[in-house]
Amino acid sequence: MARHRLLLAALLLLLSSAVLSSSSASAEREEEEDPLIEQVVGGDDDELMSELEAEAHFASFERRFGKAYGDAGERAYRMSVFSANLRRARRHQRLDPTAEHGVTKFSDLTPAEFRDRFLGLRGGGRPNLAGSRDAPILPTDGLPADFDWREHGAVGPVKDQGSCGSCWSFSTSGALEGAHFLATGKLEVLSEQQMVDCDHECDPSESRACDSGCNGGLMTTAFSYLMKSGGLQTEKDYPYVGRENTCKFDKSKIVAQVKNFSVVSVNEDQIAANLVKHGPLAIGINAAFMQTYIGGVSCPFICGKHLDHGVLLVGYGSAGYTPIRFKDMPYWIIKNSWGENWGEHGYYKICRGPRAHNKCGVDSMVSTVTAIHTKKE
Protein backbone atom coordinates (compact mmCIF):
# COMPACT_ATOMS: atom_id res chain seq x y z
CA MET A 1 0.00 0.00 0.00
CA ALA A 2 2.71 2.44 1.08
CA ARG A 3 4.68 1.37 -1.92
CA HIS A 4 1.78 2.17 -4.24
CA ARG A 5 1.52 5.62 -2.76
CA LEU A 6 5.18 6.23 -3.30
CA LEU A 7 4.90 5.11 -6.89
CA LEU A 8 1.91 7.37 -7.44
CA ALA A 9 3.75 10.32 -5.91
CA ALA A 10 6.76 9.68 -8.12
CA LEU A 11 4.50 9.48 -11.17
CA LEU A 12 2.80 12.74 -10.26
CA LEU A 13 6.12 14.48 -9.78
CA LEU A 14 7.31 13.23 -13.15
CA LEU A 15 4.13 14.43 -14.81
CA SER A 16 4.21 17.86 -13.22
CA SER A 17 7.84 18.45 -14.10
CA ALA A 18 7.07 17.42 -17.67
CA VAL A 19 4.30 20.04 -17.78
CA LEU A 20 6.60 22.65 -16.31
CA SER A 21 9.37 21.93 -18.76
CA SER A 22 7.10 22.05 -21.78
CA SER A 23 5.55 25.37 -20.77
CA SER A 24 8.92 26.95 -20.01
CA ALA A 25 10.29 25.61 -23.28
CA SER A 26 7.69 27.69 -25.10
CA ALA A 27 8.81 30.79 -23.23
CA GLU A 28 12.40 29.95 -24.01
CA ARG A 29 11.72 29.71 -27.70
CA GLU A 30 10.87 33.40 -27.75
CA GLU A 31 14.26 34.09 -26.34
CA GLU A 32 16.44 35.17 -29.22
CA GLU A 33 19.71 34.78 -27.48
CA ASP A 34 22.99 35.08 -29.31
CA PRO A 35 23.56 31.64 -30.90
CA LEU A 36 27.24 31.97 -29.98
CA ILE A 37 26.28 32.13 -26.32
CA GLU A 38 24.31 28.91 -26.66
CA GLN A 39 27.30 27.17 -28.25
CA VAL A 40 29.70 28.13 -25.51
CA VAL A 41 27.50 27.60 -22.51
CA GLY A 42 25.63 24.62 -23.85
CA GLY A 43 22.08 23.59 -23.20
CA ASP A 44 20.31 23.53 -19.87
CA ASP A 45 22.08 21.04 -17.71
CA ASP A 46 20.52 22.59 -14.65
CA GLU A 47 18.28 20.36 -12.63
CA LEU A 48 14.63 21.22 -13.13
CA MET A 49 12.99 23.04 -10.29
CA SER A 50 10.00 21.31 -8.79
CA GLU A 51 6.72 23.06 -9.46
CA LEU A 52 6.48 23.89 -5.77
CA GLU A 53 9.90 25.52 -5.73
CA ALA A 54 9.14 27.49 -8.88
CA GLU A 55 5.84 28.67 -7.40
CA ALA A 56 7.52 29.82 -4.17
CA HIS A 57 10.25 31.65 -6.07
CA PHE A 58 7.73 33.34 -8.32
CA ALA A 59 5.43 34.32 -5.42
CA SER A 60 8.35 36.00 -3.66
CA PHE A 61 9.24 37.83 -6.91
CA GLU A 62 5.64 39.06 -7.19
CA ARG A 63 5.70 40.36 -3.63
CA ARG A 64 9.08 41.99 -3.95
CA PHE A 65 8.22 43.94 -7.09
CA GLY A 66 4.48 44.41 -6.49
CA LYS A 67 3.47 42.47 -9.61
CA ALA A 68 -0.21 41.79 -10.33
CA TYR A 69 -1.39 39.77 -13.31
CA GLY A 70 -4.77 39.94 -15.04
CA ASP A 71 -5.84 36.34 -14.66
CA ALA A 72 -4.60 32.85 -13.82
CA GLY A 73 -3.63 32.18 -17.43
CA GLU A 74 -1.50 35.29 -17.63
CA ARG A 75 0.09 34.47 -14.29
CA ALA A 76 0.93 30.92 -15.39
CA TYR A 77 2.52 32.27 -18.56
CA ARG A 78 4.53 34.86 -16.61
CA MET A 79 5.70 32.11 -14.28
CA SER A 80 6.99 30.10 -17.24
CA VAL A 81 8.83 33.18 -18.54
CA PHE A 82 10.22 33.73 -15.06
CA SER A 83 11.54 30.16 -14.91
CA ALA A 84 13.18 30.58 -18.32
CA ASN A 85 14.78 33.81 -17.09
CA LEU A 86 16.14 32.07 -14.01
CA ARG A 87 17.92 29.60 -16.29
CA ARG A 88 19.07 32.48 -18.46
CA ALA A 89 20.44 34.32 -15.41
CA ARG A 90 22.43 31.18 -14.53
CA ARG A 91 23.86 31.10 -18.05
CA HIS A 92 24.72 34.79 -17.78
CA GLN A 93 26.40 34.10 -14.45
CA ARG A 94 28.65 31.47 -16.02
CA LEU A 95 29.47 33.77 -18.92
CA ASP A 96 29.97 36.84 -16.76
CA PRO A 97 31.53 35.69 -13.46
CA THR A 98 32.70 39.14 -12.31
CA ALA A 99 29.12 40.41 -12.13
CA GLU A 100 26.13 39.07 -10.25
CA HIS A 101 23.13 37.92 -12.27
CA GLY A 102 19.76 36.80 -10.96
CA VAL A 103 16.18 37.88 -10.38
CA THR A 104 15.44 41.50 -11.35
CA LYS A 105 12.23 43.46 -11.82
CA PHE A 106 12.39 42.41 -15.49
CA SER A 107 12.39 38.66 -14.75
CA ASP A 108 8.81 38.16 -15.99
CA LEU A 109 9.55 39.58 -19.46
CA THR A 110 10.81 37.66 -22.47
CA PRO A 111 13.96 39.17 -24.00
CA ALA A 112 11.85 40.44 -26.92
CA GLU A 113 9.38 42.20 -24.59
CA PHE A 114 12.24 43.60 -22.59
CA ARG A 115 13.86 44.98 -25.74
CA ASP A 116 10.63 46.55 -27.01
CA ARG A 117 9.70 48.24 -23.74
CA PHE A 118 12.89 49.19 -21.94
CA LEU A 119 15.56 49.88 -24.57
CA GLY A 120 15.08 52.21 -27.54
CA LEU A 121 18.21 53.08 -29.47
CA ARG A 122 17.36 53.39 -33.15
CA GLY A 123 19.14 52.18 -36.27
CA GLY A 124 21.52 49.86 -34.42
CA GLY A 125 22.67 52.98 -32.64
CA ARG A 126 24.95 53.98 -35.49
CA PRO A 127 24.67 57.62 -36.35
CA ASN A 128 26.29 58.57 -39.62
CA LEU A 129 27.48 62.11 -39.30
CA ALA A 130 30.10 61.68 -42.03
CA GLY A 131 32.94 62.84 -39.83
CA SER A 132 31.58 66.36 -39.58
CA ARG A 133 31.06 65.95 -35.86
CA ASP A 134 34.36 64.33 -34.88
CA ALA A 135 35.57 65.58 -31.53
CA PRO A 136 39.02 67.16 -31.54
CA ILE A 137 41.75 64.88 -30.12
CA LEU A 138 42.49 65.75 -26.50
CA PRO A 139 45.73 65.23 -24.58
CA THR A 140 45.50 62.12 -22.40
CA ASP A 141 48.45 62.34 -20.05
CA GLY A 142 47.76 63.24 -16.48
CA LEU A 143 44.27 61.74 -16.48
CA PRO A 144 43.26 60.56 -12.99
CA ALA A 145 43.33 56.78 -12.39
CA ASP A 146 39.80 56.92 -11.01
CA PHE A 147 37.14 59.49 -11.74
CA ASP A 148 33.47 59.80 -10.88
CA TRP A 149 31.31 62.82 -11.79
CA ARG A 150 28.85 61.86 -9.02
CA GLU A 151 31.47 63.03 -6.52
CA HIS A 152 31.64 66.43 -8.22
CA GLY A 153 27.94 67.23 -8.33
CA ALA A 154 27.42 66.86 -12.09
CA VAL A 155 24.98 63.94 -11.94
CA GLY A 156 21.30 64.20 -11.03
CA PRO A 157 19.08 61.55 -9.44
CA VAL A 158 18.48 58.19 -11.14
CA LYS A 159 15.30 58.33 -13.23
CA ASP A 160 12.94 55.66 -14.56
CA GLN A 161 11.92 55.55 -18.21
CA GLY A 162 9.16 53.03 -17.40
CA SER A 163 7.68 50.91 -20.15
CA CYS A 164 8.74 53.27 -22.99
CA GLY A 165 11.67 53.04 -25.41
CA SER A 166 12.90 56.51 -24.49
CA CYS A 167 16.37 55.60 -23.16
CA TRP A 168 17.88 57.96 -25.74
CA SER A 169 16.17 60.99 -24.15
CA PHE A 170 17.52 60.11 -20.69
CA SER A 171 21.03 59.70 -22.05
CA THR A 172 20.68 63.10 -23.75
CA SER A 173 19.25 64.92 -20.73
CA GLY A 174 21.92 63.37 -18.48
CA ALA A 175 24.71 64.64 -20.72
CA LEU A 176 23.20 68.13 -20.86
CA GLU A 177 22.58 68.18 -17.09
CA GLY A 178 26.32 67.53 -16.65
CA ALA A 179 27.45 70.02 -19.31
CA HIS A 180 25.10 72.66 -17.91
CA PHE A 181 26.53 72.06 -14.43
CA LEU A 182 30.07 72.50 -15.78
CA ALA A 183 29.11 75.73 -17.55
CA THR A 184 27.03 77.29 -14.76
CA GLY A 185 27.87 75.54 -11.49
CA LYS A 186 24.22 74.62 -11.11
CA LEU A 187 22.65 71.18 -11.44
CA GLU A 188 19.26 71.43 -13.14
CA VAL A 189 17.19 68.27 -13.53
CA LEU A 190 16.08 68.40 -17.17
CA SER A 191 13.04 67.17 -19.08
CA GLU A 192 12.96 63.98 -21.15
CA GLN A 193 9.26 64.39 -21.92
CA GLN A 194 10.01 67.47 -24.01
CA MET A 195 12.15 65.29 -26.29
CA VAL A 196 9.67 62.39 -26.26
CA ASP A 197 6.86 64.75 -27.38
CA CYS A 198 8.64 67.32 -29.53
CA ASP A 199 11.85 65.88 -30.99
CA HIS A 200 11.29 64.20 -34.37
CA GLU A 201 14.74 64.99 -35.73
CA CYS A 202 16.16 62.49 -38.25
CA ASP A 203 19.66 61.17 -38.69
CA PRO A 204 21.21 62.63 -41.87
CA SER A 205 22.40 59.20 -43.09
CA GLU A 206 20.52 56.93 -45.54
CA SER A 207 19.00 55.09 -42.58
CA ARG A 208 17.03 58.27 -41.77
CA ALA A 209 16.44 56.97 -38.26
CA CYS A 210 14.27 59.57 -36.55
CA ASP A 211 13.68 60.31 -32.90
CA SER A 212 10.27 58.82 -32.17
CA GLY A 213 9.30 59.07 -28.53
CA CYS A 214 8.72 55.69 -26.91
CA ASN A 215 9.69 53.96 -30.16
CA GLY A 216 13.32 54.95 -29.88
CA GLY A 217 15.77 57.61 -30.96
CA LEU A 218 19.40 58.67 -31.00
CA MET A 219 21.31 61.01 -28.71
CA THR A 220 23.14 62.77 -31.53
CA THR A 221 19.90 63.60 -33.34
CA ALA A 222 18.45 64.74 -30.01
CA PHE A 223 21.40 67.12 -29.62
CA SER A 224 20.65 68.48 -33.11
CA TYR A 225 17.03 69.01 -32.07
CA LEU A 226 18.15 70.84 -28.93
CA MET A 227 20.42 73.14 -30.94
CA LYS A 228 17.52 74.00 -33.27
CA SER A 229 14.76 74.31 -30.66
CA GLY A 230 16.82 76.33 -28.22
CA GLY A 231 17.23 73.90 -25.32
CA LEU A 232 15.52 71.97 -22.58
CA GLN A 233 13.00 72.85 -19.91
CA THR A 234 13.27 71.37 -16.42
CA GLU A 235 11.82 68.03 -15.42
CA LYS A 236 9.55 69.91 -13.02
CA ASP A 237 8.13 72.21 -15.72
CA TYR A 238 7.73 69.44 -18.26
CA PRO A 239 7.37 66.21 -16.22
CA TYR A 240 7.88 62.69 -17.50
CA VAL A 241 4.75 60.64 -18.21
CA GLY A 242 6.29 57.76 -20.18
CA ARG A 243 4.16 57.98 -23.35
CA GLU A 244 4.17 60.29 -26.33
CA ASN A 245 1.84 63.27 -26.11
CA THR A 246 1.41 66.41 -28.17
CA CYS A 247 4.29 68.83 -27.79
CA LYS A 248 3.86 71.38 -25.02
CA PHE A 249 7.28 72.98 -25.31
CA ASP A 250 7.46 76.52 -23.96
CA LYS A 251 10.50 78.35 -25.28
CA SER A 252 10.34 80.90 -22.48
CA LYS A 253 10.99 78.15 -19.93
CA ILE A 254 14.28 76.87 -21.38
CA VAL A 255 16.93 76.48 -18.69
CA ALA A 256 19.75 74.61 -20.46
CA GLN A 257 21.06 75.37 -23.93
CA VAL A 258 23.36 73.30 -26.14
CA LYS A 259 26.37 75.14 -27.48
CA ASN A 260 27.74 72.27 -29.53
CA PHE A 261 28.15 68.49 -29.56
CA SER A 262 30.62 66.06 -31.07
CA VAL A 263 31.27 62.37 -31.55
CA VAL A 264 34.23 60.86 -29.72
CA SER A 265 36.39 58.29 -31.52
CA VAL A 266 36.38 54.61 -30.47
CA ASN A 267 39.36 55.07 -28.19
CA GLU A 268 39.21 54.59 -24.43
CA ASP A 269 41.81 57.26 -23.65
CA GLN A 270 39.91 59.80 -25.72
CA ILE A 271 36.65 58.76 -24.07
CA ALA A 272 38.19 59.24 -20.60
CA ALA A 273 39.73 62.60 -21.59
CA ASN A 274 36.40 63.85 -22.97
CA LEU A 275 34.57 62.64 -19.89
CA VAL A 276 36.89 64.48 -17.53
CA LYS A 277 36.93 67.64 -19.63
CA HIS A 278 33.30 67.94 -20.78
CA GLY A 279 31.28 66.00 -18.18
CA PRO A 280 29.15 62.82 -18.44
CA LEU A 281 28.94 61.38 -21.96
CA ALA A 282 25.97 59.99 -23.90
CA ILE A 283 26.81 56.44 -24.98
CA GLY A 284 25.20 53.43 -26.63
CA ILE A 285 25.58 49.89 -25.36
CA ASN A 286 24.39 46.35 -26.04
CA ALA A 287 22.03 45.61 -23.16
CA ALA A 288 21.80 41.80 -23.54
CA PHE A 289 23.30 41.18 -20.08
CA MET A 290 21.47 44.01 -18.34
CA GLN A 291 18.09 42.31 -17.93
CA THR A 292 19.56 39.90 -15.35
CA TYR A 293 22.23 42.23 -13.88
CA ILE A 294 22.31 42.76 -10.13
CA GLY A 295 25.77 44.20 -9.44
CA GLY A 296 29.53 43.96 -9.85
CA VAL A 297 31.65 44.61 -12.95
CA SER A 298 30.01 43.08 -15.98
CA CYS A 299 32.55 41.58 -18.38
CA PRO A 300 30.85 38.78 -20.31
CA PHE A 301 33.16 36.47 -22.29
CA ILE A 302 30.95 37.07 -25.31
CA CYS A 303 28.70 40.06 -25.82
CA GLY A 304 27.16 41.45 -29.01
CA LYS A 305 28.30 44.84 -30.24
CA HIS A 306 24.95 45.77 -31.76
CA LEU A 307 23.93 48.85 -29.76
CA ASP A 308 20.36 48.87 -28.50
CA HIS A 309 20.38 51.02 -25.36
CA GLY A 310 21.30 54.63 -24.61
CA VAL A 311 22.89 55.37 -21.22
CA LEU A 312 25.17 57.88 -19.53
CA LEU A 313 28.87 57.40 -18.85
CA VAL A 314 29.66 59.18 -15.57
CA GLY A 315 33.04 57.84 -14.49
CA TYR A 316 35.60 55.08 -14.42
CA GLY A 317 37.58 53.03 -11.92
CA SER A 318 40.88 51.19 -12.09
CA ALA A 319 40.27 48.11 -9.95
CA GLY A 320 36.85 46.53 -9.80
CA TYR A 321 35.45 43.66 -7.76
CA THR A 322 37.91 40.97 -8.67
CA PRO A 323 37.89 37.24 -8.17
CA ILE A 324 41.50 36.03 -8.41
CA ARG A 325 41.60 35.47 -12.14
CA PHE A 326 40.44 39.00 -12.94
CA LYS A 327 42.90 40.97 -10.90
CA ASP A 328 42.57 44.73 -11.14
CA MET A 329 39.92 44.87 -13.77
CA PRO A 330 39.27 48.49 -14.80
CA TYR A 331 35.66 49.51 -15.47
CA TRP A 332 33.32 52.24 -16.66
CA ILE A 333 30.56 53.59 -14.38
CA ILE A 334 27.25 53.93 -16.19
CA LYS A 335 24.06 55.65 -15.12
CA ASN A 336 20.97 53.86 -16.38
CA SER A 337 17.33 55.00 -16.52
CA TRP A 338 15.52 52.00 -15.04
CA GLY A 339 15.02 53.42 -11.54
CA GLU A 340 17.06 52.94 -8.39
CA ASN A 341 15.68 49.46 -7.84
CA TRP A 342 17.74 48.08 -10.72
CA GLY A 343 21.47 47.24 -10.67
CA GLU A 344 23.71 49.07 -8.20
CA HIS A 345 21.17 51.73 -7.11
CA GLY A 346 20.41 52.39 -10.76
CA TYR A 347 24.01 52.08 -11.99
CA TYR A 348 25.91 49.53 -14.06
CA LYS A 349 29.61 48.76 -14.24
CA ILE A 350 31.25 47.28 -17.33
CA CYS A 351 34.90 46.34 -17.87
CA ARG A 352 37.21 48.50 -19.97
CA GLY A 353 40.88 48.32 -20.89
CA PRO A 354 42.80 46.49 -23.62
CA ARG A 355 41.59 43.06 -22.49
CA ALA A 356 37.96 44.16 -22.59
CA HIS A 357 38.05 44.89 -26.35
CA ASN A 358 35.15 47.36 -26.40
CA LYS A 359 32.92 45.06 -24.35
CA CYS A 360 29.27 45.09 -25.46
CA GLY A 361 30.13 47.96 -27.83
CA VAL A 362 30.46 50.39 -24.92
CA ASP A 363 33.17 52.44 -26.69
CA SER A 364 31.45 52.52 -30.11
CA MET A 365 28.99 55.37 -29.86
CA VAL A 366 30.08 58.13 -27.54
CA SER A 367 29.02 61.73 -27.85
CA THR A 368 29.81 64.78 -25.82
CA VAL A 369 27.85 67.99 -25.45
CA THR A 370 28.83 71.43 -24.28
CA ALA A 371 26.34 73.83 -22.74
CA ILE A 372 26.10 77.56 -23.13
CA HIS A 373 27.75 79.43 -20.35
CA THR A 374 25.27 81.62 -18.53
CA LYS A 375 25.89 83.91 -15.60
CA LYS A 376 25.55 82.29 -12.21
CA GLU A 377 22.50 83.46 -10.34
Beta-sheet strands, E only, within the chain: 99-101, 147-148, 258-264, 281-285, 293-298, 309-317, 331-335, 347-351, 366-371
For the residues of 296-337, what is the DSSP string, one character each? EEE--SS------EEEEEEEEESS-S--GGGTT--EEEEE-S
Q: Interface with ligand NAG includes 282 (CB under 6 A)?
A: no
In degrees, rounded to 5, the angle at the alpha carbon of residue 251 between the alpha carbons of residues 155 and 339 is 30
Measured from the CB atom, is 234 or 260 closer to ligand NAG?
260
Q: Which of 21, 260, 267, 364 binds ligand NAG (CB under 6 A)?
A: 260
Catalytic residue chosen out of the listed positions 167, 198, 299, 303: 167
Amino acid of residue 53: E
- Total residues interacting with ligand NAG, rule: CB under 6 A: 5
67 burial via Cβ count (<10 Å: 0-12, 13-18, 19+)? middle
Amino acid of residue 280: P
| Cα distances (Å, whole numbers) of residue 116 to 95, 163, 165, 262, 368 | 24, 9, 7, 28, 26
Measured from the CB atom, is 136 or 354 closer to ligand NAG?
136
**Other CB atoms within 10 A of residue 193 CB:** 25
Q: Map the footprint of ligand NAG across residues 125-144, applying CB under 6 A.
A: 133, 135-136
Measured from the CB atom, is 204 or 353 closer to ligand NAG?
204
Catalytic residue chosen out of the listed positions 92, 101, 278, 309: 309
Q: Interface with ligand NAG includes 267 (CB under 6 A)?
A: no
Measured from the CB atom, is 223 or 249 closer to ligand NAG?
223
Q: Interface with ligand NAG includes 318 (CB under 6 A)?
A: no
Asked if residue 185 lies in contact with residue 177, where contact means CB atoms within 8 angstroms, the answer is no
309 assigned to active site: yes
Q: Interface with ligand NAG includes 277 (CB under 6 A)?
A: no
Cβ-closest position to ligand NAG? 262
Measured from the CB atom, is 119 or 369 closer to ligand NAG?
369
CB of 91 to ligand NAG, least distance (A): 42
CB of 201 to ligand NAG, least distance (A): 17
Q: Interface with ligand NAG includes 262 (CB under 6 A)?
A: yes
CB of 157 to ligand NAG, least distance (A): 29
CB of 364 to ligand NAG, least distance (A): 18
Asked if residue 290 lies in contact with residue 350, where contact means CB atoms within 8 angstroms, the answer is no
Dihedral of alpha carbons 256, 215, 108, 321, sign: negative
Q: Map the footprint of ligand NAG across residues 340-359, applying CB under 6 A.
A: none
Residues that bind ligand NAG (CB under 6 A): 133, 135-136, 260, 262
Residues catalogued as catalytic: 167, 309, 336
